[in-house]
Structure 1
Amino acid sequence: MKKLTVLNQVVSSNTLTLSVLVCSALSSTVFAHDIVPATAQSNSIIFKNATVHTVIDGVKHNTNLFIQDGFIKAIGPEISAPEALIFDASNKHIYPGLIALDTSMGLVEVEMMRPSNDSYDIGLSNPQLEAITAFNPDSEIIPTVRVNGITHAQVVPQGERLAGQSALVSMDSWTIEDALVPSTMGFHLYWPKQGALPQDEKKREKQLKQHRKDLKQLATIFEEGYRYSLASKAKKLSKQDIRWQSMLPLYQGDAQLFVHANRQKQIEEAVSLAKQYGFKLVIVGGYDAWRLCELLNEIEAKVIYTKTLSLPMRKDEPLEMSFKIPALLKQANIPFALGFTSDWNSRNLPLAAGQTVAYGLSKEEALQSITLDAAKILGAESMGALAPGYAANLVISGGDILDPMMTKIEKVYIDGREVDLNNRQQQLYQKYLKR
């Protein structure tokens, strides 16, 4: 694992902005799996007689899928490619690779060991920090997650306020450069929480005062960034600051602001901020987002809902409330995808999506929420669906991928490369069978 710290430097305008990276490596092999990444696809493949879940064109039964050079070339009952290898997929299901949103994949190895947790840094304003620089493509957790059909993950920094920038990564790579997948730049802001107000007036006022202070700190951060962007646009910068320099794409409309917020008041305050500066807004968490459909749709905000397997946030809500919210978001026409805030536990993403089917979403909508909709929110083109021109990110299963009892995932392909599904848990299982 790598430990990354970026030291802010303010330098004159005629000097390059420097990011000082201080890295230290942990020598323990506990933090590196021994699964060799797959080589680039060299042979064309036709999967014959499969049930293909295209996501964008329905479910096609007893059909063929042709992949070549890492991309899907054709889908249909009659495909001719004499040079292609033939894989009999009779009675098999082919799904797009799943995309796990809001994860700390590759940033955390053992949660209780601080040296193996690179998910956050100190300070309230760290927009210049990039999660990808601390990503460990050799994490033992990665093989245990992709065996559940997850081929890509959004790696997200954590923090108190403005935590840094996320990245979309492949779940099979040698290096950081190999792992990184082009996507829209995203900054992550953790909105101040305000719990239930106490009845005691002094305690109530103290809590409200603290919340006002937190909001004022946020306002100052974004106002300073805005002034810097105006000066940059007018070419009147007297000095460069890597914090505000990194945020220029956000003010220019080329990046998204991911605001981690669940309660209605938090979301309303976040929308107010987005309106003020014209930010492209994505709400992460989004428990109360369905209550604010008009407000969110007004600014074309999106939602990454992460509370599917959580308990209700209020005592007077029905027990199944968390399961129903994706259907409520769908009814409110709010663009959304499902996420799972975790590292190793993000393997439960397909289970979370399957749970929504029992509470209002169709199977096709639930699958779309963890594939194509996730890709759209991240601005990742040619991902999340099975169609000609899309990347050959495939999951071949003997059963329903949204049902853990029936899934039976047999093969996973990333960009047409067959990924080794061996992992530490399976190795230990085989080891203790021999005891």
Structure 2
Amino acid sequence: MKKIYIIVFVLSLSIHTNAQTPAKKQTKSVLILNATAHLGNGQIIENSAIGFKDGKITLVADSKLIKLSKDAYETTIDATGKHVYPGFIAPNSTLGLVEIDAVKSSDDEEEIGSFNPNVRSIIAYDANSKVIETVRPNGILMAQITPRGGRISGTSSIVQLDAWHWQDALIKENDGIHLNFPETFRKSGSWFEPGTIEVNKDYQKQIEELNALFASSKAYNSDSAKERNLVFEAMKGLFDGSQNLFIHSNKERQIIDAVQFAKDNGIKKMIIVGGFEAYKSSDLLQKNNIGVLLKRVHDMPENDDQDIDLPYKTAKLLTDKGIVVGLENSGGKERMQTRNLPFLAGTCAAYGLDKEQALQLITLNTAKLLGIDSICGSLELGKDATLFISEGDALDMRTNKLTNAFIQGRMIDLETHQTQLYNKYKEKYGQK
């Protein structure tokens, strides 16, 4: 019998080799002149003067109403005919947690188990992800890195998107815990072959499990003499108000029960994530000062009898009720789809909101919901100089063309591996 030798070659797969180097700390002051400034708080300044030094905004004014000495700012950018915006924020995102879905070793978005409040997504965040560099050219400069899976997925953190590593990227660490609230009904089948809709017979049991966990955690955190429990310890911020509870829920009954659950357990701050039917519970949400991170609006209604335009109009319905609304983009191909976040806001503008209200959905409103509005989300004095210049309307995919972008005053590189390929073959085949 012949011997058969099998030789296995192990190839070194470089999933992401990022040639870009994060920008260095701002050393020279910058003045952007004559652009239309969209402040992110609903205000617009024509012919604006936006100045920043040491990473902080130091001037927001009408250039025609002020006089500046020639040496007031070391670098001047003439942005006549262009627009200035605060950096967009992508909440409930898995950027940097998964690189290639089909490569298991690059997927670190979910931990095993059902109750994982102690799982910190930030330590798995890869600041050198190739996907991250593709979202910056559309103005997305910050993100909330959020775990997935289980009943309690874990703890999210907020980062800026031009960094060497996760420590370098941090804006706010451990900002909140994410709870996937039980559903009253379950769908069987798949998106291409839907099955029946069935009552969740375990619904009450699942609620009781959550109540027991939160009660035990509250008791643990009020007792100084105890054996250390990392799960309970991670939930302390929910009871003292230093962390948000992000409750992922879409159905009306889910949302109503989630609000009652949070109140019964003494949760100081909660936000609804998803909120497809939040408009049905808008009075309850407004009364309890609960904001909504609205699910991807470029989607179909969940039920056959709903208005086909409902996803586009929901932001308007909630805003009119006085609810703070932001936009999130979780779902299929969500990391690559992050670059479309501005155009979700643009669709909301086409269906009821004015353009500045729509802009707030991905700037100041989101910053408020994440608890970072004191440092970013709008172009205001003392806030981080995280902003960009666009040739046109940043909420319109035809005219969102960035010429400059700054994160904490640092001018970042907007070139990506995609633009490199575009320029390479444009040069080859563009010649006649």
TM-score normalized by the length of structure 2: 0.89
2:157 aligned partner, one-letter code: A
2:416 aligned partner, one-letter code: N
The aligned counterpart of 2:348 is: 356
Q: Deviation of residue 215 (structure 1)?
A: 2.4
Q: Distance in 1 between matches of 2:123 and 2:133?
A: 20
Q: Distance in 2 between matches of 1:350 and 1:260?
A: 22
Alignment partner for residue 54 of structure 1, among 6, 17, 39?
39
Residues 24-173 of structure 1 mapped to structure 2, 5 A cutoff = 28-56=13-41, 58-76=43-61, 77=63, 78-81=66-69, 82=71, 83-173=73-163
Residues 34-433 of structure 1 mapped to structure 2, 5 A cutoff = 34-56=19-41, 58-76=43-61, 77=63, 78-81=66-69, 82=71, 83-182=73-172, 185-195=175-185, 207-230=199-222, 232=223, 235-237=224-226, 239-279=227-267, 280-341=269-330, 342-380=334-372, 381-433=374-426
Q: Deviation of residue 197 (structure 1)?
A: 8.5
Q: Deviation of residue 302 (structure 1)?
A: 1.2
Judging changes above 3 Å, is the alpha-carbon distance between structure 1 residues 67 and 206 closer, same or farther for their aligned structure 2 residues? closer
Q: Deviations over 1:152-172 (max 9, x none)?
A: 001000012111100100100
Alpha carbons 1:168, 1:182 under 8 Å: kept: yes
Give the match's secondary structure for 2:339.
helix
1:120 aligned partner, one-letter code: E
Q: Distance in 2 between matches of 1:299 and 1:179?
A: 33
Judging changes above 3 Å, is the alpha-carbon distance between structure 1 residues 153 and 27 closer, same or farther for their aligned structure 2 residues? farther
Alpha carbons 1:184, 1:254 under 8 Å: kept: no
2:228 aligned partner, one-letter code: Q
Judging changes above 3 Å, is the alpha-carbon distance between structure 1 residues 184 and 296 closer, same or farther for their aligned structure 2 residues? farther
Q: Which deviates the most, 221-230 or 363-372?
A: 221-230
Judging changes above 3 Å, is the alpha-carbon distance between structure 1 residues 205 and 178 closer, same or farther for their aligned structure 2 residues? closer
The aligned counterpart of 2:4 is: none
2:276 aligned partner, one-letter code: Y
Q: Deviation of residue 183 (structure 1)?
A: 6.1
Q: Distance in 2 between matches of 1:369 and 1:278?
A: 28
2:249 aligned partner, one-letter code: A
Alpha carbons 1:64, 1:79 under 8 Å: kept: no
Alpha carbons 1:183, 1:379 under 8 Å: kept: no
Alpha carbons 1:172, 1:179 under 8 Å: kept: yes
Q: Deviation of residue 87 (structure 1)?
A: 1.1
Alpha carbons 1:128, 1:242 under 8 Å: kept: yes
Q: Distance in 2 between matches of 1:399 and 1:383?
A: 22
Alpha carbons 2:182, 2:207 under 8 Å: kept: yes
Judging changes above 3 Å, is the alpha-carbon distance between structure 1 residues 193 and 32 closer, same or farther for their aligned structure 2 residues? farther
Q: Deviation of residue 269 (structure 1)?
A: 1.6
Alpha carbons 2:42, 2:356 under 8 Å: kept: no
Q: Which deviates the most, 212-221 or 343-352?
A: 212-221
Alpha carbons 2:156, 2:176 under 8 Å: kept: yes
Q: Deviation of residue 57 (structure 1)?
A: 6.0
Q: Which deviates the most, 364-373 or 26-35?
A: 26-35
Alpha carbons 1:184, 1:378 under 8 Å: kept: no
Q: Deviation of residue 63 (structure 1)?
A: 2.0
Q: Deviations over 1:386-426 (max 9, x none)?
A: 12211111110110000001111111110111110111111
Alpha carbons 2:176, 2:245 under 8 Å: kept: yes
Q: Deviation of residue 47 (structure 1)?
A: 1.1
Q: Deviation of residue 27 (structure 1)?
A: 6.3
Alpha carbons 1:395, 1:411 under 8 Å: kept: yes
2:175 aligned partner, one-letter code: M
Alpha carbons 2:185, 2:198 under 8 Å: kept: no
2:58 aligned partner, one-letter code: K
Alpha carbons 1:184, 1:379 under 8 Å: kept: no
Q: Deviation of residue 224 (structure 1)?
A: 2.1
The aligned counterpart of 1:3 is: none
Q: Deviations over 1:270-318 (max 9, x none)?
A: 1111011221110000111121122222322111002311100110111
Give the match's secondary structure for 1:410.
strand
TM-score normalized by the length of structure 1: 0.88
Alpha carbons 2:120, 2:174 under 8 Å: kept: no
Judging changes above 3 Å, is the alpha-carbon distance between structure 1 residues 197 and 382 closer, same or farther for their aligned structure 2 residues? closer
Give the match's secondary structure for 2:185.
coil
Give the match's secondary structure for 2:32.
strand
Q: Distance in 2 between matches of 1:189 and 1:79?
A: 52
Q: Distance in 2 between matches of 1:363 and 1:256?
A: 28
Q: Deviations over 1:343-377 (max 9, x none)?
A: 12111100000000111111000001100111111
Q: Distance in 2 between matches of 1:270 and 1:79?
A: 54
Judging changes above 3 Å, is the alpha-carbon distance between structure 1 residues 206 and 288 closer, same or farther for their aligned structure 2 residues? closer
Alpha carbons 2:251, 2:275 under 8 Å: kept: yes
Q: Distance in 1 between matches of 2:394 and 2:173?
A: 26
For structure 2, the residue ranges without an aligned partner over 5 or more in a row are: 1-10, 189-194
